[in-house]
Amino acid sequence: YKINDAGKFARGPVAHTLSDASKLAGELFSELKRRNCHPLLLKYAEEELISKSLFHAISEAAKSIPDRIRRQVSLPSDGDALYTSSFGSKNETPLIFVTAMQTESEVSEQRGFKNLLTGIHGHYRNPRAHSSRVTSSEDKEDFYDAFSLFSYVHRRLDRAGVKS
């Protein structure tokens, strides 16, 4: 789908050949770069973007987040267990700090970031791990929004402190 010259939502081109798919993939890359997509997402989803598999591109991009965190804190866990161990809870000290955690507001923001990661995992990563591309359809707008959200997460992780 695309926005046509009249500003209306319209059907976009369909790829019938590898070169058509390559051109459409180029459009995906161009739009993601225009939106300042985090480079790590492009690395994780490059093949899926080339083949224009939005389903698999979102899946691989979503996996980039726990993979990065596991490498940062050297933990083998996944999902909420990984995020709780990494970003803390009322009973656990964080290993990764997205805030200084000096005020109640900063503590709340740290917990909110951890909850955001759990939500991304449950909403984007898990459903795609347990379903088929054939039975799913991805909307291009939702695809771009997912990549924007994942980019935000990676930018916050770029600035985060890690307990040594």
Residue 1 has pLDDT above 60, yes or no: no
Residue type, 54: L
Q: What is the pLDDT of residue 3?
A: 61
Q: How many CB atoms lie within 10 A of CB 22?
A: 13
Q: What is the pLDDT of residue 26?
A: 80
Q: What is the pLDDT of residue 159?
A: 97
User: Over the stretch 36-75, which tens digit does the pLDDT of each residue have?
Assistant: 999 999 999 999 998 888 999 999 999 999 999 999 999 9
Q: What is the pLDDT of residue 21?
A: 60
Alpha helices, H only, 18-161: 18-34, 39-50, 54-73, 79-87, 104-120, 126-129, 140-159
Q: Which of 12-21, 77-86, 97-106, 130-139 has the lowest mean pLDDT?
A: 12-21
User: Over the stretch 69-128, which tens digit does the pLDDT of each residue have?
Assistant: 999 999 999 999 999 999 999 999 999 999 999 999 999 999 999 999 999 999 998 777
| Separation of first and last alpha carbons in the chain | 47
